[in-house]
Structure 1
Amino acid sequence: MNNNNDVQAPSGAIARFLNTIERVGNKLPDPAIIFLVAMLLIWFLSWLFSGTTFDAIDPRTGEAIVVNNLLAGDSLATFLSSMVKTFTGFAPLGVVLVAMLGVGVAEHSGFINTGLKLMLKVTPKQLLTPSIILVAIVSHTATDAGYVLVIPLAGVIFYAMGRHPLAGIAAAFAGVSGGFSANFIPSGIDPLLQSFTQSAAQIINPDMAINPLNNWFFTSASSLFIILLGWYITDKIIEPRLQNTPLDGDTEDLPAFDEARSDEKRAFYIASTVMIAGLALLWFVSAPADSAMRSSDGSLTNFRSPLMQSIVPLIFLLFWIPGAVYGFAVGTFKSSKDMIDAMSKAMSGMAYYIVMAFFCALFIAAFSKSNLGALLAIEGAQLLKAMALPSSVTVVGIIFLTAFVNLFVGSSSAKWALLGPIFVPMLMQLGISPDLTQAAYRVGDSSSNIITPLMPYFPLVVVYCQKYVKGTGIGTLIAMMLPYSIAFLIGWSIFLLAYWGLGIPLGLQSSYAYPAIGS
């Protein structure tokens, strides 16, 4: 399929390299089997290293880190007895399924279809890619909403515009996950990381206080950088390479994007009014200082606030209700059974992801309990410290080390809980502020998200791609995302160094040096 005739496919070393990555990657077993084999490998390594004494100190406990033997009798008994709870408690599973129930109603009623028709009518084709990446970046504000909303819709939008849908999925995935630390809008991740940074800084200076928005200016500027870089990679590298990749999925089930009928427009405006009314009601309930949607400290964006913890149920309601209103208004829903059938269809498409999530949940639980991930992070940080490099090289080293550790430890907060107490005091003693150290960590944490199959949402993106190209495998997605990852890692590191060199503030009450000038 050739959806974009005005660009040429990349050739030479880059094309051969990406084709090799795709070919080798697709020869790997199914992702579910990879997670199963990886879990068995973790069991073996936990047994192998369980009797070894390590000098590395776990910053979470202050004691020498110990590898737990997962093949011990009590560990195996716990594994079996907690298997169901491990699976049902796997956070991405609930996020995806609950959100997709609401999105399924909005999709099968035709509400999303009509909305896309109206949006495409006013969006210039040449600005489609940066628009998708921008929306993907802003979606971070709603925690994991981008994974279940923006990425699949990007594929539909690109397909509707006559472009390759996998290019749309790649652009959105790059914005949602690769650009995770770029955002114009403060979100719950800011105070979450700040809390670990402040605790780590207080190891050296007990009176140290860090502003939750200490990286806000940098992440805002990074948004524009990621949009421009992602736009170039999508249009000049990714989509040209996809020109000869035919669509053999269930594309006949995709909506037809002809002109919206008058009754569809009317139903859409009614349903949209209902959605806006729902958002207004949410604002009315959340705005008061004593709102039940605020955390104990009065914050709405803190991860502990009921509002942030309700994002997924709110997504469900804000799509389910307007979707139902649209369906009954336009006639696609004749009875409540039609609405339930739409939800059932949405769940049937998630069957493969549920199977993968089962094995993924077991692997992640085993990796966490073994302490092998913590050992890897701590030893890597100690090695970097022992090298005693210049400040700028050390900052770049932190970025690259974080990106490497991110391939094995997916959770941003878990990694920073391990690395922060090592990186922050270490760099403070070198005269580098906690604010700059945190910014470096965020760059590395984001850049490699999109190339690790161990990231919980990675299998879901594979499923999105298989809707259009049935043969999509791990190798296909890694090869598609690798140019973004390499460009983000190198380009964003240079961007941070240039930003630092120009002395532009990183955020509110932030500094580059420790102690801060004038303090």
Structure 2
Amino acid sequence: MAKKPHTQDSEKQKSKGLMKVLSGIEKYGNKLPDPFMLFVYLSVFVILLSWFISSLGVSVVHPQTEEDVAIKSLVSGEGLQYMLSSLLSNFTGFAPLGLVLAMMIGIGLAEKVGLLEAAIKRTILKAPPALVTYAVIFVGIMGNLASDAAFVIIPPLAALVFYTVGRHPLAGLAAGFAGVGAGFTANIIITGTDALLSGISTEAARDFGIIVTPVDNWYFMIVSSFMLLFVGAFITNKIIEPKLGKYEGKVNKKLEEPSPLEGKGIRNAVISGAIYIIILLVGLTWPGSALRNEDGGIIPSPFLSGIVPITLFFFIVMGVAYGVTVKKITSTRDVPKYMAEAIKDMSGYIVLIFAASQFIAYFNWSNLGIWVAVSGADFLESVNMTGLIAIIGFVFFTALLNLLIFSGSAQWALQAPVFIPMFAVLGYNPAFVQAAYRIADSSTNIITPMNPYILVVLAYMKEYDPKAGLGTLIALMLPYSIAFLGCWIILLLIFAIGGIPFGPGVGVYR
């Protein structure tokens, strides 16, 4: 009994220390410019740096062509002509732009007619009590189909489900937030995130003639989804819920189950999706199928290269089936209307890409990218750090940087032009480097004060515990973040060392 006050003092000191670190992250993170302006400043920096390095007569031997490549100055007649003539093509030709907008036409339609939200509710509410934790986390992981909307839908619904079955609502909220935030990049199907990141990776790997497709991390992300499911459920049941104890409060909240019409809409959407998949499988297995390659294989094949439009039409079919059933779509005019609304939500992303595409283009045209890549690879070789330990170091660096830059696309657009070529020089496949980035970026989403949805989740938390603060939320989420990152690194190493493909025909080395 005498040690109890000491234990309480230690916990208070740890809590104060944690809040001090978080306050520091928030303070310095808020000093960073908006991602759009960050890329504008970086573009100016690249322009000036190219002039300075070029004036020193620096050159580098290209690892692919073995030609001597000189740094080109953007502060020159040639550089000025390039910047003016390529401004539009840098933007419109930026690989992720078309891929992501196309995906959002389909996924956005399904979201706007209410299919994704209804499916999320149905899955969680219909889960047996013993499987509620697993249902919440699984739906959270799959929720990145609805993009950022999942942050608003799933955590409060999960808290209410836990409360209804007599469990601590904050444990449900934590599980839902962990699935959505820390599991944001994982999924068992191809999503807009796959299209976005692979497009940026392709731009960064252009000097090496490597194309990263949306399916290049598919196998790894499927396995990741189930790994996170079981790890997240273990953390919730064995650590978070026992720590919270029995919930004694009362709230005036009720579960709103999907209406019979919405249930019918979900059924029709599933049937339509199943018919689409069956037709696709028949077309894929049909003798002499145009979806397979000349040898009759699938790796590579038109099927894999066309995975984005295939996925796009899958969501359109399901979205239309649901929308027609629930009377959200009553005429053909409604379909493009909802698609347009989905694209409107992407306006911020489009503006960001305009600035990011210029930065990447300038970085590559000036040959600073290949210079940094070769110099960085030479440094790693000089300190004998060329194995998987270098990739693990990159993972930790990315996880820490994510505490300051929440936007996954902005952070990858910033890191990819540097790290993709550098690791490519060392022989690593850009798709493998991209997978390493994804696990790091995703794991710390739930503990960074830069996450705008943390305050939203905190507001939901206060409905059940008015005394809860940011420190309470971070303390609940920290075990998930650490466990997810640690287990994800182990999984990455298992795939790498075991020679397991990360996607169709994609290994560790290029």
Which interval holds the TM-score relative to the shorter structure? 0.5 to 0.7
Q: What is the aligned partner in structure 1 of residue 366 from structure 2?
A: 370
Asked if 2 retains the 8 angstrom alpha-carbon contact of 1:117 and 1:257, the reply is: no
The offset of 1:42, in angstroms, is 0.9
Relative CO higher for 1 or 2, CA cutoff 8 Å, sep ≥ 6? 1
**How many angstroms does 1:54 deviate by?**
4.7
**CA shift digits 1:209-239 (9 cap, x unpaired):** xxxxxx99998876665556667889989xx
2:274 — aligned with what?
Answer: 276
Identity %: 28
Q: CA deviation at 1:277?
A: 0.6
1:37 to partner: Cα distance: 1.0
TM-score (norm 1): 0.63
Q: Which residue of 2 aligns with 1:432?
A: none
Aligned twin of 2:339:
343
Q: Is 2:124 the counterpart of 1:158?
A: no
**Maintained 8 Å contact 2:154/2:176:** yes
TM normalised by structure 2 equals 0.64
Separation in structure 1 between the aligned mates of residue 457 and residue 218 of structure 2, nearest angstrom = 37
Contact 1:267-1:330 at 8 Å conserved across structures:
yes
CA distance in 1, matches of 2:380, 2:187: 25
Distance change >3 Å, CA 224–CA 340, structure 1 → 2:
closer
> In the superposition, relative to structure 1, how do residues 35 and 129 fare at CA in structure 2: closer, same or farther (>3 Å)?
farther
Residues 89-113 of structure 1: CA deviation (Å, up to 9, x unaligned): 2222222222222233322323223
Instruction: Give 1:313 deviation, angstroms.
Output: 2.0
Deviation by residue 1:146-174 (Cα, 9 ceiling, x = unmatched): 6x546644642234334899985764454
**Residues 1:118 and 2:122 are matched in the alignment:** yes
1:257-297 superposed Cα distances (whole Å, 9 cap, x missing partner): 72222222223212321111111111111123632122345
Q: Measure the CA separation in 1 of the matches of 2:120 and 2:220.
A: 32
How far residue 350 of structure 1 moved from its aligned partner, in angstroms, is 1.9
1:66 aligns with 2:70: yes
Q: 1:101 and 1:220 mapped to 2: Cα distance? A: 23
Q: Superposition pairs for residues 339-488 of structure 1, below 5 Å?
A: 339-388=335-384, 395-401=388-394, 418-422=422-426, 444-450=436-442
Structure 1, gaps ≥5 residues long: 1-7, 137-145, 194-199, 201-214, 241-255, 425-436, 454-460, 471-475, 509-519
Structure 2 stretches lacking a partner, 5+ long: 1-10, 161-169, 202-207, 209-216, 244-253, 402-410, 460-469, 502-510
Matching residue of 2:166: none
Opposite residue 390 of structure 2, the aligned amino acid is G
The CA distance in 2 between the partners of 1:311 and 1:464, in whole Å, is: 31
> What's the CA shift string for 1:31-67, capped at 9, x where partnerless?
1111111111111111111133557532122134432
- Cα distance in 1 for partners of 2:118, 2:219 equals 37
1:97 paired residue number: 101
What secondary structure does 1:45 align onto?
Answer: helix
Task: Say yes or no: does 1:267 pair with 2:275.
Answer: no
Q: For the residues of structure 2 that align with 1:402 and 1:316, how far apart are their CA atoms?
A: 31
**C-alpha contact 1:98 1:316 (8 A) present in aligned 2:** yes
Partner of 1:203: none
Correspondence for 1:287 among 278, 285, 288: 285
Question: C-alpha root-mean-square deviation of aligned residues, in Å?
Answer: 5.1
Q: Could you say if the C-alpha distance between residues 344 and 423 of structure 1 is closer, same or farther in structure 2, counting changes exceeding 3 Å?
A: closer
Match of 1:131 in 2: 138
Per-residue deviation, 1:446: 4.0
Contact 2:62 2:69 (8 Å CA) reproduced: yes
Could you tell me which residue of structure 1 aligns to residue 505 of structure 2?
Answer: none
**1:516 maps to which residue?**
none
1:31 and 2:35 are equivalent in the alignment:
yes
Cα gap change, 1:280 to 1:221, in 2 (>3 Å)? closer
The correspondence for 2:183, drawn from 150, 175, 189, is 175
Q: 2:284–2:292: 8 Å Cα contact kept in structure 1?
A: yes
Q: 1:110 to 1:295 in 2, by over 3 A?
A: same
Q: How many residues align?
A: 418
Aligned mates of 2:270, 2:218 — CA distance in 1: 32
Question: 1:361 deviation in Å?
Answer: 1.6
Provide the C-alpha distance between the structure 2 equivalents of 1:483 and 1:52, rounded to a whole number of angstroms: 50
Q: Distance in 2 between matches of 1:260 and 1:158?
A: 17
| 1:11-22 to 2 correspondences below 5 Å | 11-22=15-26
Deviation at 1:467, TM superposition (A): 9.3
Contact 2:261–2:326 (8 Å) recurs in 1: yes
Match for residue 78 of structure 1?
A: 82
